[in-house]
A and B are shown apart, each in its own frame.
Chain A
Amino acid sequence: MSKRWAVLLLTLFAVLTFSPILRLQTAAQQAAGDGASKWNNIAPRKSTYAPKKSSPAPRRDLSGIWDAAGLDGGFQVNGAAEHPALLPQKGGSAEAGLESGAGAEGGRPDEAGIEHPLPYTPLGLAALKANKPSGPGVRQVPAALSNDPLDQCDPMGFPRMELFELRTFELVQTANQVIYLNQWYGNWRTIWTDGRELPKDPDPRWNGYSVGKWVDDYTFVVETVGMNPRSWLDHAGRPHSDALRVEERFHRVDHDNMELTVKIDDPKMYTQPWLGINKFPLHLLPSDFDMPELLCSPIDMAEYNRRISNSVLPSTPKK
């Protein structure tokens, strides 16, 4: 009798001890891109990079697959990370209908009361109010009432691709270009490094016109103009005009780490420049990391709107 109990206890002990390790192993294999799955890899958590000692940064080299999210960040669903459209955190658990720190539903026409307000001009504030975001924040509206271009599968645009869902992207360096291949909604942009000047009064592009140069061996600075004003700056609906200039600073810290800073300079909409992200940490992924695809299908979007968005509006009558 005692032998059977011993076997049972040992089995239970083994299962409890080893099953979490097995699960961790699978996740790590997926993350590393080797072993179990070569495809649709999931980036490891930010915390796995912390204790790792990295080798020195290569000179004048940004190339590789970079990750900002790793299940820990990069999503920026409340707006650009330096200026989330959130009320200051209330202590304790969620109040009825209101997540701690999140905005009231559709209740506010402007961003009064958020922790890091933006310096809008009158034109900028009017443009902000015209944008109805579906994402969580002080000005959110139900998805079916949103006019977010992304909710209709319009292009993400630049710099929104770095101020919203900055997850995984690949940088490819050629003799005269740095090419930025973005996972989220699968867009790419070209940064010219051949010394050409930025265009004057160009036709608007969703992704703008970019030139870049190394200011030292480890810092690459990009200037972008000519961005289509139809794009939003971030998920909170911050606007921009055709006067927008964006500066990116990619700073290669060491072999596995890079920091990205994005400066927004739009004198028509904002009284002074502001940082959307500031030294945002990026981590180098293995060179065989397979980025899962996420594209926006207008047909799937319309189906979602038909089945769900319109059905959860407050005014939808009971069938």
Chain B
Amino acid sequence: MKFLLALALVASGAIVSGPLFAHHGNASYDSAKTVTVKGTVTDYIWANPHVFLEIDAKDNSGNKVHWTIEAQNPLSQTEVGWTKNTFKPGDEVTVEIIPAKNGQPFGRFGVAGPTAGLATQKSLIVINGKQFKP
């Protein structure tokens, strides 16, 4: 079975439905887009100010692309069901993320809510074949 790449650019206007719950605004990210990244976790940092995930993925030509994807702080991530053990190096993951505007392999996990401050996990996350549902 060929392990094919992963990078699909899907234009979606629906990922954020209200004022963004975040300490950092979305100035650097294109919140109108989602990108699906599929690959292997190399690092999972559970720390302030942001929890983040490092993934070795592949581009359309099969070249390795290393992605860095940030979430919120550990407290906020706990509120949407993440723990320090949610990911570990070696996990095969598929994640939907909001990409950086500058086209570099950086992104953030989408959060949204009907009112300011209500965080819900909007991004699709699949870990080792199972969809993450806290």
Contact = CB atoms under 8 A, between A and B. Distances in A.
Interface string A57-87: 0000000000001011111111000001010
A135 B22 contact: yes
Nearest to A42: B79
Interface stretch (B1-9, B56-64, B70-78, B89-97): B70-78
A240 to B, nearest CB: 20
Contact of B24 (A78, A100, A143): A143
A312 B14 CA distance: 23
A176 B7 CA distance: 62
A78 B12 CA distance: 24
A310 B21 CA distance: 21
B115 A73 contact: yes
Interface in B1-59: 13-14, 16-32, 45, 47-50, 52
A105 interface: yes
Given A136-B20, A311-B68, A312-B106, A304 B50 contact: yes
B117 A75 contact: yes
Contacts of A312: 28-29, 100-102, 104, 106
A177 to B, nearest CB: 27
A150 B52 CA distance: 19
B103 interface: yes
A314 B49 CA distance: 21
B127 interface: no
A235 B20 CA distance: 14
A136 B26 contact: yes
B126 interface: no
A3 interface: no
Contacts of B119: 71
A235 B23 contact: yes
Contacts of B48: 294-297, 300-301
Contact of A296 (B13, B21, B49, B70): B49
Given A42-B79, A300-B47, A300-B49, A135 B68 contact: no
Contact of A86 (B19, B22, B118): B19
Contacts of A235: 23
Contacts of A307: 52, 68
Interface of A: 23, 40, 42, 69, 71-78, 84, 86, 93-97, 99-103, 105-106, 133-137, 140-143, 151, 167, 235, 292, 294-297, 300-301, 303-304, 307-308, 311-316, 318-319
What 7 pairs between A and B have smallest CB-CB spacing? A136-B25, A140-B25, A105-B27, A312-B28, A75-B117, A312-B100, A142-B28
